[in-house]
């Protein structure tokens, strides 16, 4: 599941809306919406994100959060490490081979560490 998919599901469940009801309202198939929630589809388009924001009638911070999560929710990414330090290539490769076996706790810890390092380095 992607961060965007998890948040959409959370909004939907909180409002007692079924996947089918939401799909009809957005003029998409329930299969598409399910795949979007579960991360079996690519990142949603800007237009689809706007439709979902309007559907849930969220504004300001919640709308910005959905947009931010959509940008971080491409389940099939590639990382270009050409020209970077060898450690960058090693990190990308280790992550690609080990990520499926990591616990939620480990993923949360690594994500926090990466964000802290990026902030420290001004990235």
Contact 108, 119 (CB under 8 A): no
Q: What is the pLDDT at residue 81?
A: 95
Q: What is the pLDDT at residue 77?
A: 85
**Same structural domain, 65 and 112:** no
Within a domain: 76: no
**Same structural domain, 7 and 58:** yes
| Selection from 24, 47, 50 nearest residue 32 by Cα | 24
**Same structural domain, 105 and 52:** no
Q: What is the pLDDT at residue 75?
A: 82
Domains in the chain, number: 2
| 39-85 pLDDT, tens digit each | 898 889 999 999 999 999 998 999 999 999 999 898 888 899 999 99
CATH value at residue 8: 1.10.260.40
Q: Count CA within 13 A, CB hemisphere, residue 61.
A: 0
Name the residue range of residue 96's domain: 86-120
Q: Is the pLDDT of residue 120 over 90?
A: yes
Within a domain: 95: yes
**Same structural domain, 58 and 94:** no
Buried b (16+ CB within 10 A) or exposed e, 26-53: beeeeeebbebbebebebbeeebbebbb
Q: Is the pLDDT of residue 26 over 90?
A: yes
Q: What is the pLDDT at residue 42?
A: 84
Q: Is residue 90 very low, low, confident or very high in pLDDT (cuts 50, 70, 90)?
A: very high
**Same structural domain, 12 and 66:** yes
Mean pLDDT of 106-112: 96
The percentage of residues in the chain with a pLDDT greater than 90, rounded to a whole number, is 88
Contact 40, 75 (CB under 8 A): yes
């Amino acid at each position: 599941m992607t961060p965007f998919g998890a948040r959409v599901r959370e909004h939907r469940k909180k409002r007692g809306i079924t996947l089918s009801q939401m799909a009809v309202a957005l003029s998409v198939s329930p299969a598409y919406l399910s795949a979007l929630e579960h991360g079996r589809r690519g990142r949603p388009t800007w237009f689809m994100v706007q439709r979902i924001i309007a559907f849930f009638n969220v504004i300001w911070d919640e709308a910005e959060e959905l947009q931010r999560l959509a940008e971080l929710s491409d389940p099939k990414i590639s990382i270009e490490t050409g020209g970077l330090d060898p450690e960058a290539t090693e990190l990308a490769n280790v992550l690609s081979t080990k990520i499926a076996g990591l616990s939620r706790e480990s993923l949360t810890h690594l994500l926090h560490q990466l964000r802290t390092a990026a902030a420290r380095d001004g990235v």
